[in-house]
Structure 1
Amino acid sequence: MTQPQVSADPLVVRTVPLDDPGDLLALLPGSATTPDVTAWVRNGDGLVGWGAAAVLRPAGADRFAQARAWWVDQVGTAVVRDEVRLPGTGLVCFGSFAFADETGDSVLVVPEVVVGRRGGRAWVTTTSAGALTTTPEVAPVEPPAPPSNVTFSDGAMSGAGWESVVAEAVRRINAGDLEKVVLARDLVATASEDVDVRWPLHRLSESYPMCWTFHVDGLFGATPEMLVRRERGLVTSRVLAGTIRRTGDDERDLALAATLARSSKDLEEHEYAVRSVADALAPHCTSMNVPEAPFVLHLPNVMHLATDVAGVTHETDDVASSLTLAEALHPSAAVGGTPTSVARELISEIEGMDRGRYAGPVGWMDAAGDGEWGIALRSAEIDGARVRLFAGCGIVADSDPAAELAEAQAKFVPVRDALAGR
């Protein structure tokens, strides 16, 4: 894991163009344990990094404020030479934030080396404290070995126990306490040796190319949900809520997609999530576009109701603005519930586990405040030979506990399969 580093020296940053490096994830160096690597890749483009030029570990209810203040300081003192000048070049940090105010650490890390690609252009950024470093050779490294002898066991709660928790949540909803709550459960994978995080990253990227494959400080996954993207004043947020499992039969799956699009339970859950995102973004935008109806997003294992909310931000000099937007949106109804405060209290009361950074914002940010922050879903936390997988489901008034358990099982599949050998 990345360790905290403190330096009084300003960060010295240089970005230069790079010939196409090929598979970005193939560039990540390995080690006997989880290496200090970071990743944010979708459909072949994105950012990968390694090393740690600077690190912050904020915690508590003001973790976002701590992170913003730290980033403002880093940006204000950094010496930057950027020959590419695209979002994601120059000074860049990766981040991952705890879901809850009360528990869990968060992290921002500035890698020593970042390699990026977008729109057919590639670059490499080097960052160090106090002095310019030599641009490293960028080339594929020896591929990782698969995890060995992986076994799975229940995490904090058995399936039957979790069904009881879902039933209690339905009771509270029908009693009028709240409209929706998202409940999560965990699954523990144990290997005979330390797991090289690069293996599941490769597998996830190959199997789910349209998702954002990520790794920050031991938390990895492939999220289908973009909490917020800010790029030169334009803001987008992809909302997913309402899920149905795919069968593998194309004709049957089309029929299921039509069923999902008409499902009152799923449409209700989705409406709560879209409304929460639109309400959170509105104070930060001069204009917004909120589609009237969702579309069905097809992923290899499941289908989701999806809506892309878009807006234009107020003119601002806030160099942490994408993170400011992520804070405003977290937690959306898609991962918390409605009303937010009541749902969070119920999660703390009955869920029975510490989510850590699961379902919190994860992504990157540059010195202009542009960045991409996803929701850490379809994810897991790696600690040596132990990997803790997470999955969550939106619970509304007519949710069926057995069906919700089946949905959670489907959401474990991406990471579970990624831990298997070829």
Structure 2
Amino acid sequence: MATASLSAPRDRRGLPWTIVSASPAAPAQVRATTRRLAEPVDLVAALPAARGGVSFLQDGEGLVGWGEHSRMTAKGPEAASEIRAWFDAVVADLAVSDEVGVPGSGPIAFVSLGFDDSDESVAIVPSVVIGVRSGIAFSTVIGAGGLTERSAVEAPGRISYCDASLSVAGFTSAVRAATERIGRGELDKVVLAHDLEAIAEHEIDERYLLRELAAAYPSCWTYAVAGLVGASPEMLIRRIDGAVTSRVLAGTAWAEHAGDAVAADLMVSRKDLAEHAFAVDSVARVLRDVVTELEVPDGPHPLPLANLTHLATDITGHLPATGPSALEVAAMLHPTAAVGGTPTALARQVIRELEPAPRGRYAAPVGWLDAHGDGEFAIALRCAMVSGHTVRMIAGCGIVADSDPTTEAREAQVKMVPIRDALEAQR
């Protein structure tokens, strides 16, 4: 088949996108066009509809999108690999023109993996993406997609709460059972989750939650994929032009009045330091097999947020272009000891036994992937599953030998405050 040689725009690595003109008998490729926008963009405000949008942003920069050029769901241990292969095929069917060439430009897949093998993973390639990176605003439009007329953002109205699958009493009982098993030497740590259901007067406008979360937690990654909405403080993996970073969080403290004393106490807490060490080791052990020049700090630093403080360790390294994609590394890391436990297989089994309902996509990787394999994946924390008038919040705590069930239950409730505050903002 004869082909025409076209002058293609170059991506941020200086490589030309491949654009092939088909013969008249073959269907024309769908175009994906990325252009720079002249005006600054409020990303959350750009979302046109109450539901169905996707987002991944921090401190005013990142990506939002809407419309579905393509969508995939998968289950099982190979879900991430299947999604990567599917996305490669989607991109291969596109004629890509990217005049911007920054991380996040060009075709993008927003991905939310399931926590367990039986939980469903979701991937969406939006028809329209609006992005901001290093002050550069841009849009990517696939096919005939365009800027849709925007509806007004609606407040959820009155909110009522009720137990979901695991009440506070049920959660404290699960914690006691877990500490007994840890005390018998079955495992070192397990993360148990507690959930709460909110019912709103009006159908939930996801943009309302995103707006409130982004304003209250600008240092977190505010995300939305297929009804999962949240603001995570934990970056599982970022891969951009070979540079790899991972922020590990484990160990938590809070007080009615945040301040230096909370952070100081946390930095000398044997329980929290031990819990944090398990999480750091679980991430570093995986990254050492795929990342070069890995740097793991000797100890954590305190990370204060609006309503609590975490112990945090920032791990850095380098991944060659021929290495696994950001999504595949995220799948290798999941679940870290920060959200699963250690040893991993035993902790996952204890979670299945002690939590009465599936986690779904809570505490699993959520983020975006581009055609080069670069991307960002946070851990889906401080989140809720939104469906109509109902919001299911879920939050977990790391359980070790000396964990106190009442304290852990209070910590889980504190971790639900971001979603509760967003629901109740009413402005």
Deviates more, 1:155-164 or 1:200-209: 155-164
Pair 1:12 & 2:31 matched: yes
Alignment of 1:311-326 (within 5 A): 311-316=317-322, 321-326=325-330
| Deviations 1:129-183 (CA, angstroms, capped at 9, x unpaired) | xxxx37537x9x4541110221011111211111010010000011000000000
- Residue among 379, 382, 399 paired with 1:375: 379
Shift of 1:12: 2.2
**Equivalent residue for 1:220?**
229
Aligned length, in residue pairs: 400
Counterparts of 1:178 and 1:9, CA distance in 2: 57
Alignment of 1:174-253 (within 5 A): 174-249=183-258, 253=259
- Residue among 215, 232, 255 paired with 2:261: 255
Task: Specify the SS of the correspondent of 1:288.
Answer: strand
TM-score normalised by the chain length of structure 2: 0.91
Counterparts of 1:22 and 1:122, CA distance in 2: 7
Shift of 1:314: 3.5
**Equivalent residue for 2:273?**
267
Counterparts of 1:134 and 1:357, CA distance in 2: 28
Counterparts of 1:134 and 1:297, CA distance in 2: 41
Counterparts of 1:327 and 1:9, CA distance in 2: 35
Counterparts of 1:11 and 1:223, CA distance in 2: 34
When residues 10 and 327 of structure 1 are mapped into structure 2, their CA distance, relative to the original with a 3 A threshold, is farther
**Equivalent residue for 1:159?**
168
| Deviations 1:231-252 (CA, angstroms, capped at 9, x unpaired) | 0111100000000113235xxx
Shift of 1:78: 2.2
- Residue among 372, 389, 392 paired with 1:388: 392
**Equivalent residue for 1:86?**
102
- Residue among 42, 61, 71 paired with 1:23: 42
The higher radius of gyration belongs to: 2
| Deviations 1:370-400 (CA, angstroms, capped at 9, x unpaired) | 1000000000000000110010000001100
Shift of 1:193: 2.2
Shift of 1:36: 2.0
- Residue among 65, 69, 82 paired with 1:49: 65
When residues 288 and 142 of structure 1 are mapped into structure 2, their CA distance, relative to the original with a 3 A threshold, is same
Shift of 1:76: 2.8
Pair 1:149 & 2:158 matched: yes
Shift of 1:61: 2.2
Counterparts of 1:412 and 1:264, CA distance in 2: 25
When residues 334 and 17 of structure 1 are mapped into structure 2, their CA distance, relative to the original with a 3 A threshold, is same
Q: In structure 1, give the amino acid aligned to 2:39.
A: D
Pair 1:328 & 2:339 matched: no
Shift of 1:212: 0.5
Counterparts of 1:317 and 1:381, CA distance in 2: 33
Q: Which runs of 5+ in 1 are unaligned?
A: 1-7
RMSD across aligned C-alpha pairs, in angstroms?
1.5
**Equivalent pair of 2:296/2:316 in contact (CA under 8 Å):** yes
**Equivalent residue for 2:316?**
310
Shift of 1:317: 6.5
Shift of 1:351: 1.5
Question: Which consecutive segments of 4 or more residues in structure 1 shift more than 4 A?
Answer: 8-11
When residues 396 and 11 of structure 1 are mapped into structure 2, their CA distance, relative to the original with a 3 A threshold, is farther
Pair 1:355 & 2:359 matched: yes
Counterparts of 1:57 and 1:99, CA distance in 2: 14
Pair 1:301 & 2:312 matched: no
**Equivalent residue for 1:419?**
423
Shift of 1:352: 1.5
Counterparts of 1:255 and 1:136, CA distance in 2: 49
Shift of 1:90: 0.5
Counterparts of 1:256 and 1:222, CA distance in 2: 22
TM-score normalised by the chain length of structure 1: 0.92
- Residue among 116, 128, 139 paired with 1:124: 139
